[in-house]
Amino acid sequence: ETNSVENKNNYKYHNGGRVPVGIGRKRKRIVVTGGAGFVGSHLVDKLIARGDDVIVIDNFFTGRKENVVHLFGNPRFELIRHDVVEPILLEVDQIYHLACPASPVHYKYNPVKNIKTNVMGTLNMLGLAKRIGARFLLTSTSEVYGDPLEHPQKETYWGHVNPIGVRSCYDEGKRTAETLTMDYHRGAGIEVRIARIFNTYGPRMCLDDGRVVSNFVSQVIRKQPMTVYGDGKQTRSFQYVSDLVDGLVALMENEHVGPFNLGNPGEFTMLELAEVVKETIDPGAKIEFKPNTADDPHKRKPDISKAKELLNWEPKISLHKGLPLMVTDFQNRILNEDEGKGN
């Protein structure tokens, strides 16, 4: 293990501490795990645009090189194919830990692997943060509230989660990741941040990842009916990805540990969402009802007073404004797919 490493950013790392070397602009070196995924790739774009050096760690389970291909050749960008379940040695200032599939279809595909990613992956990134004195941000989820008995959900709510259900690998995995994060903070004095992210949509989502916004948009572009699960009266609050990325950076740069809810409080039933998708893409679009999945939360809406007050953050883009931005990206990718180019 290297005990002293000089990097190009005027820092020297020595025995786990960070020592400035000379003067100059303090460009940060940042790791983004899961940086080839939907949210991660947008975050990486923002950090690179700000002038920082970014290392993406991704095993490409749900991420795609296409999401970051525009950064290939940029000397400030580095991509490492690596599974966070395995340890890794790096020297950085900040760690944004996103690696974990977010769609229920993806995490249910291999639930045990999902738990390993959340527990061992988070442990490794916290061990890394401890060794090099980096600040660590966990992207947790509104799923820690489970099928909530409080509405809207505040950060003080402890949740209503089934420990043995088909969603538990994700819900309980993230809850454990939050626990680990706080234990490293309290026990090892690591600087940590916790974001609880509510449903987010935008360009670069996987076309067929099974989440409701990507499903409805792909279905209507392909002239298929939108699949509404259950009676469609369950609610979610949909946040546009650039709002989330702004919130994650604000959280990382501020002094508060959290947890902070990051979401758009606009609440929609799935039937209302289908209406918005219809208005945006094709007024003739149809819906079809399908049986709902097990343990589906009935409602979800963030109380974001804490982030508003302490991070001075709130979402700016409504569903009506954000959806068309995603639709353009999906139309292009579905067209390419139809022309046999893949995506």
Among 7, 110, 176, 227, binds ligand UDP (CB under 6 A): 227
Give the C-alpha separation, 147 to 142, whole Å: 10
Q: Which of residues 126-155 bind ligand UDP (CB under 6 A)?
A: 127-128, 130-131
- Cβ 195 vs Cβ 139: under 8 Å: yes
Q: Rounded to an integer, what distance in angstroms lies between the CA atom of residue 191 and that of residue 194?
A: 11
- Nearest alpha-carbon partner for 267 in 105, 153, 125: 153
Q: Give every CB contact of residue 150 below 8 A, 6+ residues apart in sequence.
A: 157
Phi and psi angles of residue 12, each rounded to the nearest 5 degrees, phi first = -125, 135
- Please, which residue, 9 or 118, has the CB nearer to ligand NAD? 118
Structure tokens at 276: 């918005």
| 296 makes contact with ligand UDP (CB under 6 A) | yes
Identity of the residue, 34 or 258, whose beta carbon is nearer to ligand NAD in the bound complex? 34
In the bound state with ligand NAD, the residue whose beta carbon lies nearer, of 36 and 134, is 36
Closest separation in Å from C-beta 86 to ligand UDP: 8
Tokens at 217, concatenated: 């948009």
Residue nearest to ligand UDP (CB): 127
Is residue 66 near ligand UDP by the rule CB under 6 A? Answer: no
- Contacted entry of ligand NAD, ligand UDP, none for residue 17, CB cut-off 5 to 8 Å set by kind: none
Would you give the DSSP letter of residue 288? Answer: E
* Number of chain positions touching ligand UDP (CB under 6 A): 23
- Give the HSE-up count for residue 296: Cα atoms under 13 Å, Cβ half-sphere: 19
> Contact positions toward ligand NAD, by CB under 6 A?
33-34, 36-40, 57-63, 83-85, 98-102, 117, 121, 139, 141, 197, 199-200
Minimum distance, C-beta of residue 25 to ligand UDP, in the bound complex (Å)? 26
Give the one residue of 10, 292, 318, 331 binding ligand UDP; rule: CB under 6 A: 292
CB of 263 vs ligand NAD, minimal distance in Å: 8
Nearer to ligand UDP, 236 or 333 (CB): 236
Q: Which is nearer to ligand NAD, 65 or 222 (CB)?
A: 65
Rounded distance, CA 167 to CA 111, Å?
Answer: 8
Rg (alpha carbons) of the chain, rounded to whole number: 20
Catalytic residue selected from 170, 184, 201, 240: 170
By the 8 A CB rule, do 84 and 63 touch? no
Nearer to ligand UDP, 47 or 90 (CB): 90
| Cα–Cα distance measured from residue 166 to residue 248, given in angstroms and rounded to the nearest whole number | 28
Q: Please report whether residue 123 would count as binding ligand UDP according to CB under 6 A.
A: yes
Distance between CA 91 and CA 132 in Å, rounded? 6
Task: Tell me: does residue 228 bind ligand UDP (CB under 6 A).
Answer: yes
**Residue 145 appears among annotated catalytic residues:** no
Tell me how far apart the alpha carbons of residues 99 and 56 are, in angstroms, rounded to a whole number: 10
Q: What are the phi and psi torsion angles at 131 (to 5°)? A: -65, -40
Q: CB count, 10 Å around CB of 103? A: 20
Q: Are strands 77-81 and 94-97 parallel, antiparallel or unpaired?
A: unpaired
Partner interacting with residue 34 (select from ligand NAD, ligand UDP, none; CB below 5-8 Å by kind): ligand NAD
User: Is residue 270 involved in binding ligand UDP (CB under 6 A)?
Assistant: yes
Centroid of chain to Cα 288? 29
Q: Does 59 bind ligand UDP (CB under 6 A)?
A: no
Contact of residue 62 among ligand NAD, ligand UDP, none (CB under 5-8 Å per partner type): ligand NAD
Q: Which is nearer to ligand UDP, 45 or 209 (CB)?
A: 209
What residues act catalytically?
170
Residues of the shown chain interacting with ligand UDP in the complex, contacts defined by CB under 6 A: 87-89, 104, 123-124, 127-128, 130-131, 199, 211-212, 215, 227-229, 234, 236, 270, 292-293, 296
